[in-house]
Structure 1
């Protein structure tokens, strides 16, 4: 998870190699292109539809290659998907408070948080709409249907990355940034996303460079729930686009508001937090 402040100093050796026997994945090899594309899809606000569609298409192809290279048994078990997300999470671009204010017209406190939540919801809505439209097109062409699962995995990864980014940046807004190295912050925010809450540095084992068994299980379940939600995009015409966009928007808003309330409560009484 890179930030504007520490991006140049990020040590590539910090990126953890997921455990898992035959499912082990090598950072910088199979995952490099996937991480780059997910980062590009989450970094820029206001990306136009054509660019988002192009990058999602490239991500889908990269995921199919990655699955073949790592001899993944498929998406269904969730283990491969969770390991993949863990490997790319440290590369999610996170902005510090000054950069967030610069990008959001000088807003602070609750107003900045509200704007971040709305922007993230728009982004996941757009991903769901584009992904749903692509899946709908493939549904109409049976020979291409086998590529649809990879497209849904791509959508799932991007939505998860946008929401992890939102959680990390809400911590910046409320003056409770997640401490630690790039990888420790990434793992803390990934665990927070899996549990649909703010990151808690005081929780035992939360500030580590590798997820524990419980955190891995929570992440796998959350990713599979998100993937299952995106399976609704497998419908004819544009029904998938409408459903995918609406469901993503509702989920992102619900997560953003919950984390905002939690962090606001933590920041209560601090004179440095504008309201």
Structure 2
């Protein structure tokens, strides 16, 4: 009977953790508040693509959806989520529905930019076929960044509507990720909202959501600038749809009237 092959796993773990740390840092920078210069965003997306290509070498034999979900779960706690006061300060003192409007617009702009940059890069690769080999890793990079931007939007909309989710940073990241997978707001009164956020059913939903997002980015693999236009437009539409769904859901979970004063209502 063959002996368990445990040693390679111990050797691989530090490399996997280091790769996840690099990926998490880059995704975090791409989702920080404020506009990134296009050149800087392209540079960061390029670095993320290379880091993911390295990370994917350690995932042979794992289904693409499962691997993608595992990577996202590892980086989710690094997504920068602001509290209500900070969000308002960063959006010129807006509150309530006006603040929520601005959050959604900002997220739409960010995901549209990611799709447009990715499409432009793919167009360039069509002009140089050997470089097309990098496209799968590039699409994964776009998918992770768009998912992170949308998870951030979802989490901060909870802040705006006064639906505070308690728990550690890791627990809250898991809860917001689970909510994004289902495109729903979180019910803070449900005991399982945080502690059981990532059960088997939720992980399946996350894999499916990420794969749908990845499929959307396949439209960037078009010649000329068709991919850039399609990628940007589809991301903008999807992010707007998410924002509308979460806002509708959260309005039904608003705190009692006295607490609404801080929401600008």
Matched, 1:112 2:108: no
What SS class does the counterpart of residue 118 from structure 2 fall into? helix
Match of 1:149 among 136, 140, 146: 136
> In the aligned structure 1, how far is the partner of 2:67 from the partner of 2:196?
18
- Structure 1 alignment gaps of length 5 or more: 1-20
Aligned residue pairs, count? 252
- Does the 8 Å CA contact 1:128/1:244 hold for their aligned counterparts? yes
Range that drifts further, 165-174 or 209-218: 209-218
Deviation by residue 1:5-52 (Cα, 9 ceiling, x = unmatched): xxxxxxxxxxxxxxxx9xx97664220100000000001321121111
More helix as a share of residues:
2
- Does the 8 Å CA contact 1:92/1:161 hold for their aligned counterparts? yes
Q: What residue number does 2:122 align with?
A: 135
Structure of greater Rg: 2
Deviation by residue 1:194-214 (Cα, 9 ceiling, x = unmatched): 001112234453312772100
- Does the 8 Å CA contact 1:188/1:201 hold for their aligned counterparts? no
Deviation by residue 1:128-148 (Cα, 9 ceiling, x = unmatched): 000111111112211111100
Match of 2:59 among 50, 59, 71: 71
> CA 1:73–1:150 in structure 2 vs 1: closer, same or farther (change >3 Å)?
farther
Normalization by structure 1: what TM-score?
A: 0.87
Q: What residue number does 2:39 align with?
A: 50
> CA 1:103–1:198 in structure 2 vs 1: closer, same or farther (change >3 Å)?
same
Matched, 1:34 2:23: yes
- Does the 8 Å CA contact 1:128/1:248 hold for their aligned counterparts? yes
Q: What residue number does 1:171 align with?
A: 158
What SS class does the counterpart of residue 158 from structure 2 fall into? helix
- Does the 8 Å CA contact 1:45/1:123 hold for their aligned counterparts? no
> In the aligned structure 2, how far is the partner of 1:209 from the partner of 1:184?
9
Range that drifts further, 259-268 or 30-39: 259-268
> In the aligned structure 2, how far is the partner of 1:183 from the partner of 1:209?
12
> In the aligned structure 2, how far is the partner of 1:171 from the partner of 1:193?
12
Deviation by residue 1:86-143 (Cα, 9 ceiling, x = unmatched): 0000110000011011101111110101100000000000000001111111122111
> In the aligned structure 2, how far is the partner of 1:252 from the partner of 1:71?
29
Q: What residue number does 1:244 align with?
A: 231
- Structure 2 alignment gaps of length 5 or more: 1-8
Q: What residue number does 2:3 align with?
A: none
Cα offset, 1:265, TM superposition: 2.1
> In the aligned structure 2, how far is the partner of 1:204 from the partner of 1:77?
32
